[in-house]
Amino acid sequence: MTKEQVLKKYFGYDKFRPLQADIIDTILAKQDCMVLMPTGGGKSICFQVPALVMEGITLVISPLIALMQDQVQSLKANGVPAAFMNSTLSMVELRTIEEQCKSGELKLLYISPEKLFSNNYLGFIKTLNVNQIAIDESHCVSNWGHDFRPEYIQLKVLKEAFPSVPMVALTATADKVTRKDILTQLGIPDAQIFISSFDRPNLSLAVLPGRNRLKIIHEFIAKRPYQSGIIYCLSRKNTEEVAEGLRKLGLRAMHYHAGVDAQTRSEVQVAFIKDEIQVIVATIAFGMGIDKSNVRFVIHYSLPSNVESYYQEIGRAGRDGMKSDTLLFYSFGDIITRKEMIQKSELPDEMKEVQFAKLDRMKQYAESEICRRRILLSYFNEEAQNDCGNCDVCHNPPKKFDATIFAQKALSAVARAEEKVAMGLLIDILRGAQNRAIYERGYQNLKTFGVGKELKYEEWADYITQLLNSGVIDIAYDERHALKLNSVSWQVLKGERKVDLVRFEAYDVKRARLDEE
């Protein structure tokens, strides 16, 4: 069968979405690839269709048991012979699936990394006619990602075991550094990368100061009596308190977190999907693999730990493409709590540093006065042509001034310092600071040394952050946060493009606006 016939026969669709056909052709040509698509973008089809076109069996590595079970169930419902192997199965069940693998009747085998590396399952898999290896949620293999899973590290051996079998790494969330790392970790450095647009124009974006949160949420939901949504909280205890508070206000709300027993969790999920519960108040445990396309709002009760998580979480709203709303509460208290959480975590120091840097980007997003969608897209290295018109900043735009000269000074200093300096040192160069870091590297001899004396340190920090947020400059977390030039930077340097920024506002003024409840 051709890929089009498979799509029609097993999935009932007439057309591929953008990129799907190209990705499938790449896999059918036995080449490795990486697929970046937002949640709901249609990643699964990209490996499920080739699995059915080719002879043999496709191996799908998936970290989440619930997700694996859902996918296998819906494949079976469509008449696709598929099965999963994970720790929930009995010996007898495992034996049955092994037999089905051997006889060649299965087309897709989902397996968790734990299972794959236990009892020499890999040895068993090697005896099969494997035609493709799909790594779902592949960002879990990277230290730079936000959901690192140590058991994913071992997946390296797959490419060694099956050098000529095409491998496809899929994820809904990876910035540039994470992408590069995923390919290295999986041993497929030359994989072709497919990135579909991350833009979700149907989601409105808004940030509010973290005051009177419960009251504001109540008013927000009261305006939407027939719509359901998710509220993300920072801690388990927090989800319980907020759900309780909303119930007292007369809303059908339930909490959900990993500490709730499995039975209750699945009841809550089902009730939510059937619209019997209007609001789920959850930790990040909720959402992965929840197939509810008409979630109409996602609220963040507190600041998420990084932009990737935030984007993935708001992405659970409006998967049907209909207009949906998102709301983020932000306070200085949230930042402090998040910092403490990172500090207390068991991560090695250099990883903590990455987490702090990512938290900082999240904070900048919340504080920014640039179109929020522009920031999100630039975070994923996508260039937004226009402001979106569907975020709070667009609805209430701040006054801007022509800051092209400042941008050019900063960018040319980045270029002269050979893209090796982080923001602090760059500002020292611009302001002509006399300190050891400067002299050690000889930066006092750069042509750009001291060209930005007219601005205070804080002003430069604010403007460079705005440049970063609007995609005029890039940052490399894996190179000690060195600032990097991109194609937009060069347009600005050559005078082909103007840069407008919001006038610097002193820290205490911002702070007064944001003060805690």
To Zn ion, the closest distance from the beta carbon of 202 in angstroms equals 13
To ligand ADP, the closest distance from the beta carbon of 35 in angstroms equals 8
Number of other residues whose CB lies within 10 A of the CB of residue 312: 22
Among 268, 394, 425, 433, binds Zn ion (CB under 5 A): 394
Q: Return phi, psi of residue 117, to 5°.
A: -100, 10
Q: Of 141-180, which residues contact ligand ADP (CB under 6 A)?
A: none
The verdict on 42 binding ligand ADP (CB under 6 A) reads yes
Give helix 423-431 / helix 404-416 axis angle, nearest 10°: 110
| Residues 257, 269: Cα–Cα separation, whole Å | 11
The verdict on 45 binding ligand ADP (CB under 6 A) reads yes
282, 288, 293, 298: CA torsion to nearest 10: 30
The verdict on 289 binding ligand ADP (CB under 6 A) reads no
Across 310-363, the runs of DSSP E, i.e. the strands, are 324-330
The verdict on 60 binding ligand ADP (CB under 6 A) reads no
- One DSSP character per residue, 137-198 reads TGGGG-TTSSS--GGGGGGHHHHHHSTTS-EEEEES---HHHHHHHHHHHT-TTPEEEE---
Name the helix (H) or strand (E) containing 270: helix 262-273
Pairing of strands 130-135, 57-61: parallel
The verdict on 381 binding ligand ADP (CB under 6 A) reads no
Among 10, 16, 232, 272, binds ligand ADP (CB under 6 A): 16
Among 36, 37, 280, 370, binds ligand ADP (CB under 6 A): 37
To ligand ADP, the closest distance from the beta carbon of 46 in angstroms equals 8
The verdict on 375 binding Zn ion (CB under 5 A) reads no
Binding mask 110-149 for Zn ion (x = CB under 5 A): ----------------------------------------
What, of Zn ion, ligand ADP, none, does residue 13 touch, CB below 5 to 8 Å by kind?
A: ligand ADP
What, of Zn ion, ligand ADP, none, does residue 504 touch, CB below 5 to 8 Å by kind?
A: none
What, of ligand ADP, Zn ion, none, does residue 371 touch, CB below 5 to 8 Å by kind?
A: Zn ion
Coil, helix or strand at residue 352:
helix
What, of ligand ADP, Zn ion, none, does residue 41 touch, CB below 5 to 8 Å by kind?
A: ligand ADP
- The window from 60-68, 191-199, 240-248, 390-398 that contacts Zn ion (CB under 5 A) reads 390-398
Token pair recorded at residue 439: 């002299």
- The window from 37-45, 227-235, 416-424, 465-473 that contacts ligand ADP (CB under 6 A) reads 37-45
The verdict on 40 binding ligand ADP (CB under 6 A) reads yes
List all residues 6 or more positions away from 301 whose beta carbon is below 8 Å from its beta carbon.
Answer: 213, 217, 231, 232, 233, 234, 238, 242, 281, 329
The verdict on 371 binding Zn ion (CB under 5 A) reads yes
Of the candidates 370, 369, 347, the one whose C-alpha atom is nearest the C-alpha of residue 146 is 347
To Zn ion, the closest distance from the beta carbon of 322 in angstroms equals 19
- The label of the residue with tokens 């669709």 reads 13
List all residues 6 or more positions away from 240 whose beta carbon is below 8 Å from its beta carbon.
Answer: 255, 281
What, of Zn ion, ligand ADP, none, does residue 394 touch, CB below 5 to 8 Å by kind?
A: Zn ion
Nearer to ligand ADP, 16 or 286 (CB): 16
The residues of the shown chain that bind ligand ADP, judged by CB under 6 A, are 13, 15-17, 20, 37, 39-45
The residues of the shown chain that bind Zn ion, judged by CB under 5 A, are 371, 373, 387-388, 391, 394
